[in-house]
Amino acid sequence: MLYRVFIILLLASFAAQAQDSVLPHKEHSLVLRKLRLSGNKITRSYIVRREMQLREQSAYTRQELKQFIKEDADKLKNTKLFNSVALNIVQVSADTVDVSVALVERWYIFPEVIVKFADRNVNDWIKNHNADFSRINLGFFIKHKNLWGRNEQMRIGGQIGFTQKLVFQYKFPFIDRRKKWGLQLNFEYLNNNSLPTGIKNDRLNFITSDTRGLHQSFKVRTGTSFRRNYYTTHFFSLGYTSHHAPDSVFQQLPEFFPGGRSSMAFLKLDYSMHISKQDDPSYPLKGNHFVFALSNQGLGAFSDYLTTTLNFQNHHYMPIGTRFNWYNSAFLSFSYSPELPFLMQSGIGYHPVLMRGFEHFAIHGQHYALFRNDLRWNIFRTTFNFKKIIPWTQFQKMPLALYLKTTADLGYIHAYRNAHPTRMHQRILYSLGTGLDLVSWYDVVINFHYTYNSLDEWNWGITFSKSF
């Protein structure tokens, strides 16, 4: 009997040893002693630390450190405050480390001289207005992207030309001690001698005047933001908009504004939620960006024209190997409204809801869906160093990347109740094409594409975006 008990205990001991041999040992934890920040000459240190989940005097495994370093570097890049971000582990002792955070700040204040089309895009200007240079706007703006080193942003200025404009914008990233609540202020005044009054042949139809003041618009908006965590931000805003036109407009279009009035004014209440986790804000190659938005437009004096709109956007970026990347996006919009004045309508053809191959069309509709797909191949990616000839560190390195892409877009739009459906409505629209994307300094991205669409047309398109 004792022999049998001994054999059982011996086998149990061997089994326990075998189990211990296959179970992974818990990785040794390291204490993060200090975050060594460098290069943030203007940006306050607490703005940098606010974006990081790494905390001093906290314990991490080495694997956790590597993961958090990668995620924190992406978050710092997404602030658009830095040209380059480098985080590295510095071993202090066997169980203690520091993390160096080497930053190269951007140039934050830009005098912005603009030469801009009054139309929706360059295709609209060339194809629908015969590249009419009288429709060019000239403007000067001052933009500051990091006031007081606290990531506050301001833009002020004006333009002359086809459309006169005055603009003032200010953004406080946070106004509370916990650095979660922010505040935004926006003011805009426009004055021009052209007024869109409807759609003809799927293009905007205008009436014009030789004198200034055919259409005057005033917009003011204030809003607040709540940043729940690193990746999720909620926005709430209340805005006031007014449009005014002279009596000559109503001699031609007596019902252009509600009740035959010479002006229209309304309030707009908006809520949106943004969930963004991507590697680069200007030209992401990995990650996802989701937007949900709910708006009520027409509050106030013209409540008969109250419009409730629900919008969804999703942008997904997926690397395929080292040189290829797949990008797909979806835009969905559903609105409930009675017959709407034309100036309150929207649809496909307005930034950012642009369908390639259809840029020169303005497709207004009550509901729409748009899906865009790109397969992108990185032809080259390099960085030019101008340290010997440029003394300012903000401009010494110029990244440059070129991508060849194939594109496929699919769309559908339902006409407004008071609009006669055109050849664009209640049918599937699609386009297929190819193009090039050039990515460079300060988030400058130039997109060129050549597409075939479902109307049996070949069209080219070009867009230009920047952060300054």
Between residues 20 and 84, which one has the greater pLDDT? 84
Greater confidence (468 vs 239) lies with 239
Q: What pLDDT was estimated at residue 328? A: 96
Please check the confidence at residue 325 and state whether its pLDDT lies above 90: yes
pLDDT at 7 over 80: no
In this prediction, residue 426 carries a pLDDT of 93
Residue limits of CATH 2.40.160.50 in the chain? 109-465
pLDDT higher than 80, residue 411 = yes
User: pLDDT for 131-160, tens place per residue?
Assistant: 888 888 999 999 999 999 999 999 999 999
Which is higher by pLDDT, 68 or 248? 68
pLDDT band at 110 (very low <50, low <70, confident <90, very high): confident
- C-alpha pair distances (Å), 164 with each of 117, 139, 148, 157, 291: 12, 9, 31, 11, 32
What average pLDDT does the segment 401-407 reach?
A: 97
Helix (H, G, I), strand (E, B) or coil at 262: coil
Least confident piece of the model among 77-86, 303-312, 357-366: 303-312
Share of the chain above pLDDT 70, in %: 93
Residue 2 pLDDT exceeds 60 = no
What's the whole-number mean pLDDT along residues 275-282?
89
pLDDT of residue 262: 78
Considering the chain, tell me which residue range(s) the CATH 3.10.20.310 domain(s) occupy: 27-105
- Choice between 451 and 245, residue whose per-residue pLDDT is larger: 451
Mean pLDDT calculated for residue range 442-465: 92
pLDDT in tens, 62-74: 999 999 999 999 9
109-465: which CATH topology?
Answer: Porin (2.40.160)
In which region does residue 45 sit, left (phi positive, over 0), alpha (psi from -120 to 50) or beta (all else)?
alpha
Q: What is the pTM of this model?
A: 0.85
Condensed to tens digits (0 to 9), the pLDDT of residues 174-215 reads 999 888 999 999 999 999 888 888 888 888 888 887 777 788
Nearest Cα residue to 317 out of 382, 373, 381, 378? 373
CA distance readout (Å), 57 to 43, 60, 65, 100: 23, 10, 13, 15
For residue range 111-132, what is the model confidence (pLDDT) as tens digits?
888 888 888 888 898 888 888 8
Q: Which pLDDT score, from 0 to 100, does residue 12 have?
A: 47
Q: Tell me, what's the pLDDT at 201? A: 84
Query: What is the assigned CATH class of domain 27-105?
Result: alpha beta
What's the confidence (pLDDT) of residue 3?
Answer: 43
Q: How far apart are CA 33 and CA 56, in angstroms?
A: 5
Indicate if the pLDDT at residue 347 is higher than 90. Answer: yes
Q: Which of 112, 214, 222, 207 is nearest to 159 (CA)?
A: 112
